[in-house]
A and B are shown apart, each in its own frame.
Chain A
Amino acid sequence: MKRPLLITTGTMALAGLAFVLVNTLPGCRPTTTQTVVTGDAASKVYVKPGTHDEFYNMVSGGFSGQLAVYGLPSGRLLREVPVFSVDPETGYGYSEETKGMLMTSHGFIPWDDSHHPELSQTNGVPDGKWCFINGNNTPRIALIDLGTFRTHSIIEIPNSAGNHSSPFTTGNSEYVVAGTRFSVPMGDDAQRDVPISSYKETFKGTVSFIHPEPETGKMSIAFQIVTPAVDFDLSHAGKGPSEGWFFFSCYNTEQAYSLLEVNASQRDKDFIMAVNWKMAEQLAKEGKGKRVPGKHYSNWWNDKTHSSETTVIDDVLQLDPKEHPGLLYFMPCPKSPHGCDVDPTGKYIVGSGKLAALIPVFSFEKMQKAIAGNEVEGDFAGIPVLKYESVLHGEVKKPGLGPLHTEFDANGNAYTSFFVSSEIVKWNVEKLEVVDRVPTYYSIGHLCVPGGDSKQPWGKYVIAYNKITKDRYLPTGPELTQSAQLYSIDGDKMELLLDFPTTGEPHYAQAIPADLVKPREVKFFKIEENQHPYVAKGEKEARVERNGNEVHVWMTSIRSHFAPDNIEGVKLGDEVYFHVTNLEQDWDVPHGFAIKGAANAELLIMPGETQTLKWVPTRVGVWPMYCTDFCSALHQEMQGYVRVSPANSTVPLKGETVSVDAGV
C-alpha cells in the first residue's frame, strides 16, 4: 500500500510545483519593450558646456501656435518664438505694436495651431534666412526672420479653411504654398450660405501661392488655383528635373462631408495633385486670372518703427484649371495620402497613404511621358487623372503600417515614419528595398533629417516627433510632455541616441547647420535707427503728455532705472500708454516693464527697441511699476510709482526721476 501513497504524494508535489511554475510563467513573457541604447550614445549627444550645438532644429509648437528652436544633437530648448499665439512673457500680441500681427479678417485672433516649419531656400537648399510656418485654424502663414528669431510677417489665406498643406517652398522661395484642408463654398455671402449637403456641387478647394518679397519679407498672394472639392494634406515642390512643379497630397476624394473617419476611407486610391506652377505664374502674369472676393490681412513687422503694419486686401487672383489645360493633373495614390515628399534628385515623388500597407513612389519622368502620351484613366471633376501604372516608379512592399512622412539623406535613402506600427523605416529610393527599421517610442508622426526635404540633405541624424510619450518621462498627471527622439543615421543601422521633451505637439520640423544661421544674428537694435513715433532716444527726451484722456509716457530704461519713474496727474478714466525705450546698446540686456493691475501683459524690450503697454487704472492710489528682467546687480532697485487721482482731480501731470540731492 505504501507505493501508491508515495506516487500520489509525488504527483501532488509535482502538481504543486507545476502550479508555482505556471503562475510565475507570465513573468517570463516580455511585458515591456526594452530599448537598446549603446554605450557611446551619451558622448554622441554631449555638447560640452560653453560650446554650441551643430544644428538648429526648428520645431512646430503644435497647439501652442508657436515655433520652438532646439539645438542638435543635445536636444536643448533654445527659444520658443511667439508666432500665432500671444505671449505674455514678451508682450507679443499684448503690446500696442505687436497686436496688429495677429489681426485677421475675423478680427484679433490670439492663437493658432502651428504645424509645419519650412526654411527658406536658395537653389533648393535651406539658406538660413527665414523660417515659414503655417497656422492651421485661421489660415495663415508666418515668416520668422532668423536674424532676430521674431515673427516678421503673417499673411491670412482667403478661400481656405484649415491651412494644413502649407507652407512648403519652391527652390528659391519664390513662393510658399497653402493648400486648404477643408474645401468650402466661395464667393459672395449668398454663394457661401449653402447647405452642407451640397458639398459636391458648391464646395471648392484652393491652393495658394504666396510670394515673400526677398528684401523685406512682406508676403502677398500671387495667385490661387481653384480645385475640385477634396481635402489637401501636405505638399512639396519639385526640384532639379521637376523644378517648376508642385505636388499636393489629397484625401477625401469620396467628397464626404460627415463621418470622414469612415466615409473618406472608402476609395482604394486618392490623389497626388501635380501643379505646373511655372505655367500658373505665366498665366497670372498674362492676366488670365480673375479677381474674386477674398478679404485677407497681410501683417508685417517694421524693424525700424518696431511696429506692425497691416494691409487689408479685399480680393485674390484666382486661376481656374478647367480653363487652362496642362495646369493640374491627378496621380492616383493608395489610401488617403498624407506625406507628399520629393527626393533630393527631384526625380521621385513619395506618397504616404496613411492607411496603406505599401509606399508608392512616382516618377516625374514617367509623369511627363504620361502627360505627353495622354495616358489618362479618366477625369475627376474635370481634371485629368493619369494612369497609376503609367506614373509609378514602383512600390515599397510591406514597409510597415500607417506611413506618414518621408525625409531623405544624400545617399539615396528615404526615411519614412509609420504611426500605426510606431517605427522609422529606411529604404532605398531607386531599389525600393527596405534597408533598416527602428521602433520609436511612441507612435511617431513627423520626422526630420537636416536638409531632408531639400536638394542637399546634410544627413547625420533623423529625429522622430512622437505623438505619445507615456512612460518615457517622469509622469506629470494626465497631461504628459511631448517628445522627440534623435537617431544617428551615419552607420548602416539607425541608432537611438536621445529622447528630448518638446513644447506643444511637435508636427513637422526642419534642421539646418548652425553656421548658416549664426552669422545673421542681430545682437541689438541701433538706437539711432529707431523710428518709433514715441521713441525717447535719451533720458532728456523722457516726458509725459496728455492728449484728452490719453496719457502718453515717453519712458526710457537703462541699468538700472526708468525715466520718468515718478508719474503724477493721472486720473481715473485715463488710458495710460507707456512707450518704453530700452536705451542699452549691448547684447543680452533686455529690460522688462510691469505695472500693478496691468490687464494685458508685461513688456520685454530688447536693447534699442521701443514697445508700448496700455494701462487703464481702475482705482485711485499710488501704483508700483518695475523691471521684470534681471538686468543688473541693482535690478531690484529698478522701480517707480504712478499716482492715480480721482477723475475731477487738479493734480498737474508730471513725470520725473528725482535724484537724492535734488532737494538739497
Chain B
Amino acid sequence: MRLHPLSRVLLALAALALGLNLAMPIWRIDLIAPQYPEGLFLQIFHDRFAGDIDKINGLNHYIGMAHIKDEMFPEFGIMRYAFYLLIAWGLFTAVVGRRGVLLSWLFAIAAFIIWAVWDMYVWGYKYGHELDPRAAIKVEGMAYQPPLIGHKQLLNFDAWSTPDVGGWALFICSALATIIFVVEWRRAHRAVRSA
C-alpha cells in the first residue's frame, strides 16, 4: 500500500525544508554577562561560524581556550553532502511513496542527529577542557564546556545553547515525518483489519 498523496506532498515539503540548513544557521550559542549588555552570540552554519567569533576568541584567550577557526572543523567541509543526501532521500521517499523507504529515511535523519549531537559534545568537551597551560587566568577545577542544549553558568557568563532556524527545521521535519509514518502505519493496519 502506497502512502497517501497528502503524506507524500508533506514529505516532499519536509525534505525541501531541510534545505534551510544549507542557507540558514543551524545552531546558536549565546553568552550573556553584565559587561556585555548587548550579548555575545555564535552561530553555526553547515560550513562556517558566524556572529561575535572574534570577540569570543578575544575573551577566551585569557582562560586559555582554543582560538576558534572554521578550518579546525572538517565537518564544515562535508556537512552539506549529508544534507544533500537527506534531502534526496526524503524526495525519493515522497516519489516512491513506500513506508519502508520512509522508515529508512527516519533512521537516516536520526543517525545524522545522533552524530551531530555527539560531535558537538566532543567538540565542546575538548574546547572547554583542553586549556592552554600558559593561560593568564587559571581557575582551579574550572572547565568551560558550553552546554549541549539549554543553559549553563560559566563564571559570570550565562551561556545558552539552542537550535537556530536550521536546527528547528530539522527538528520539525523529523517530527513531521515521524508522525506521518505513525499515521500511515495505522492506516495500513486498519486497511488490513477491514480487508
Contact = CB atoms under 8 A, between A and B. Distances in A.
Interface of A: 1, 4-5, 7-8, 11-12, 15, 18-19, 22-23, 25-26, 29-33, 261-262, 265-266, 335, 355, 357, 400-402, 420-423, 439-443, 468, 470-471
Given A8-B183, A11-B179, A357-B140, A25 B37 contact: no
Contact of A19 (B7, B33, B162, B168): B168
Interface in B41-63: 62
Interface stretch (B66-74, B76-84, B101-109, B153-161): B153-161
Given A4-B183, A266-B134, A18 B172 contact: yes
A261 B33 CA distance: 24
Contacts of A402: 137
Nearest to B9: A8
A335 B138 CA distance: 9
Given A442-B34, A470-B38, A15 B175 contact: yes
B162 A25 contact: yes
A421 B62 CA distance: 13
Contact of A401 (B38, B135, B137): B137
Nearest to B186: A4
A465 to B, nearest CB: 14
A423 B34 CA distance: 9
Interface in B160-186: 160, 162-163, 165, 168, 171-172, 175-176, 179-180, 183-184, 186
B125 to A, nearest CB: 22
Contacts, number: 110
A33 B175 contact: no
9 contacts: A4-B187, A25-B162, A31-B30, A31-B32, A33-B37, A401-B139, A401-B156, A422-B156, A441-B35
B1 interface: no
Contacts of B158: 30
Nearest to B7: A8
A392 B54 CA distance: 40
B132 to A, nearest CB: 10
B168 A33 contact: no
A355 B137 contact: yes
A355 B136 contact: yes
A116 to B, nearest CB: 23
A30 B162 CA distance: 13
Please name the 6 residue pairs, one residue from A and one from B, whose CB atoms are nearest each other, closest first.
A442-B35, A421-B156, A439-B34, A357-B139, A265-B136, A422-B35
Nearest to B133: A266
B148 interface: no
Nearest to A22: B168
A44 to B, nearest CB: 22
Nearest to B165: A23
B10 interface: yes
Contacts of B172: 15, 18-19
A261 B136 contact: yes
A8 to B, nearest CB: 6
A437 to B, nearest CB: 10
Contacts of A421: 33, 155-156
Contacts of A22: 163, 168, 171
A7 B183 contact: yes
Nearest to A470: B37
A29 B30 CA distance: 9
B152 interface: no
Contacts of A440: 34
Nearest to B182: A7
B98 interface: no
Nearest to A421: B156
A470 B40 CA distance: 14
A478 to B, nearest CB: 15
Given A19-B168, A32-B38, A32-B39, A5 B176 contact: no
A130 B163 CA distance: 60
Nearest to A12: B10
A8 B9 CA distance: 11
B31 to A, nearest CB: 11
A471 B134 CA distance: 34
Chain B CB within 10 Å, residue with most, of A22, A25, A265, A421: A22
Contacts of B180: 8, 11
A443 B62 CA distance: 15
B4 interface: yes
A440 B35 CA distance: 8
Contacts of A471: 37-38
A150 to B, nearest CB: 37
A8 B35 contact: no
Contacts of A265: 134-136
A5 B168 CA distance: 24
B192 interface: no
Given A32-B37, A441-B34, A11 B176 contact: yes
B195 interface: no
B10 A26 contact: no
A26 B162 contact: yes
B150 to A, nearest CB: 10
Contacts of A442: 34-37
Nearest to A443: B35
Contacts of B155: 401, 420-421
A439 to B, nearest CB: 4
Nearest to A401: B155
A298 B158 CA distance: 53
A453 B128 CA distance: 39
A441 B155 CA distance: 17
B176 A357 contact: no
A29 B160 contact: yes
A333 to B, nearest CB: 15
Contact of A5 (B6, B160, B162): B6
Contacts of B139: 357, 401
Given A15-B175, A442-B34, 10 more contacts: A11-B183, A23-B165, A29-B162, A30-B158, A33-B32, A262-B134, A265-B135, A421-B155, A421-B156, A441-B37
A5 B183 CA distance: 9
Interface string B98-130: 000000000000000000000000000000000
Given A23-B168, A32-B37, A442-B34, A15 B137 contact: no
Contacts of A400: 156
B20 to A, nearest CB: 11
B95 to A, nearest CB: 18
Nearest to A16: B172
A545 B35 CA distance: 63
A15 B158 CA distance: 30
A664 to B, nearest CB: 73
A32 B142 CA distance: 25
Nearest to B4: A4
Nearest to A397: B140
